[in-house]
Amino acid sequence: MSTSPVPSRRQPVSSPTTPPTAGNGKPESFLDYLGTLGRKKKMREVEEANNIVEEGRQAIDSNAQHPVIDALPEEFVLNEYEERSMIEPGMINNHDYQELLKILVNWINDELSDQRIIVKDLEEDLFDGQILGKLIEKLSLQKLDVVEVTQNEDGQKAKLRTVLDQANRLLGIQAKWSAVKWTVEGIHNKNMVQIIHLLVGLIRHYRAPIRLPQNVVVNLVVVQKREGHLHTSTVTEQLTGSYDELGMRVEPRDAFDTLFDHAPDKLQIVKRSLVNFVNKHLNKVNIECYVGSSGVDLDPNQFSDGLLLIFLMGMLEGYFVPLGNIFTTAVDPILEATTNKETAIQPDNYVESSPINKLHNINVAFQLMEDSGIQVKQKVRAEDIVNADMKSTLRVLYMVFTKYKHL
């Protein structure tokens, strides 16, 4: 039983009684017609095969073909197992994200207005460390030992490393206990997320009088080169939190606000009571909170490194905190071994203690308080104690006093 040949999808179906025609108008033989169908079928198969190969190649190169691969910047030339990240293009125009960028730019320009420095683009203006260095100097009131202008990449990275080291010291960031969210390579490669994390950290630490948008979250495309191919994944990154993002955390007014504003005479009575309470327990181990000749001049600098708070909690709770878990010297232990620096327990050395070491000790003290049921972290920032803020120091001591005044 004979059957009619199957026509091509792109060719109109010919009537069984009408013979196909060749390009010259003459009737096409049956064999010629089969040959034409064969060639067209082969062309379709080749085209489909090429499409499959291309789809496979793209899937391998981009790990399921993330659309952002087509928009990767030219500098995404990675070494094997090297990793970079960028904000998803679709997030760039997010309202909260753009508002955050605007606030950060305006803040930097306000801080550096006396130096006639104008920042327009965070990526392009901050990556080399030049303006970041000026900002750190302005905030810390400390001159950095860096070359004023550097053009080559190595010089820029060296300067940026000095700037970031100083920023980390000021922020009390110790890599051993804290995950630093910025690096020299990241900032120099214009990683916007790292730049934002650094600026937000500075704003909060120095309590800048600005309000940051809350809960700003962006999607990051993480690109890694493995076995010669680029692989991508998407993660979310939180740039600001849900807390009040004023540089200084705003708490509801309490009794200490009233005392400071309206009753300084009664504040002196509170100070005297707290000093007596602290010394009553610290004197058991021959440690004392120095108050000057008046007996009430409580110096918050004495509590800024956390040692007195740690020893106080140990006495109140009946345990000893191993000295290996805290910093008891004004410099790093290795340097102390060679310079014979006096310990920070000596009253004259409190101010000299490294901010990194101070913040670690304060966090230890706060954790001891939290473990005992004192919700200190809800009321006071560790950074405020490190900065010797009188009101914050009194709040901490009063919370401890309230719990243990019966002892």
pLDDT of residue 10: 47
Domain spans, the chain = 1-62, 83-238, 255-404
Question: Considering only CA atoms, which of 173, 161, 91 is closest in space to residue 133?
Answer: 161
When pLDDT is averaged across residues 122-134 and rounded to a whole number, the result is: 93
Distance CA 135, CA 130 (A): 9
Distance CA 211, CA 36 (A): 73
- The topology under which CATH files domain 83-238 is Actin-binding Protein, T-fimbrin; domain 1 (1.10.418)
**Does the domain formed by 255-404 have CATH 1.20.1630.10?**
no
Torsion sign over Cα 79, 81, 87, 89: positive
- Does residue 268 register a pLDDT over 90? no
pLDDT of residue 57: 52
The pLDDT confidence band at residue 381, using thresholds 50, 70 and 90, is: confident
- Does residue 259 register a pLDDT over 50? yes
pLDDT of residue 6: 46
pLDDT of residue 210: 80
How many residues in total does the chain contain? 407
pLDDT of residue 269: 85
Contact (CB, 8 A) for 89 and 68: yes
pLDDT of residue 131: 94
Cα distances from 104 to residues 209, 215, 244, in angstroms, run: 12, 15, 16
Q: What is the pTM of this model?
A: 0.52
When pLDDT is averaged across residues 12-39 and rounded to a whole number, the result is: 54
Residue 235, burial from CB neighbour count under 10 angstroms (0-12, 13-18, 19+) = exposed
Edge-to-edge strand ranges of the sheet holding 83-87: 83-87, 217-226, 229-238
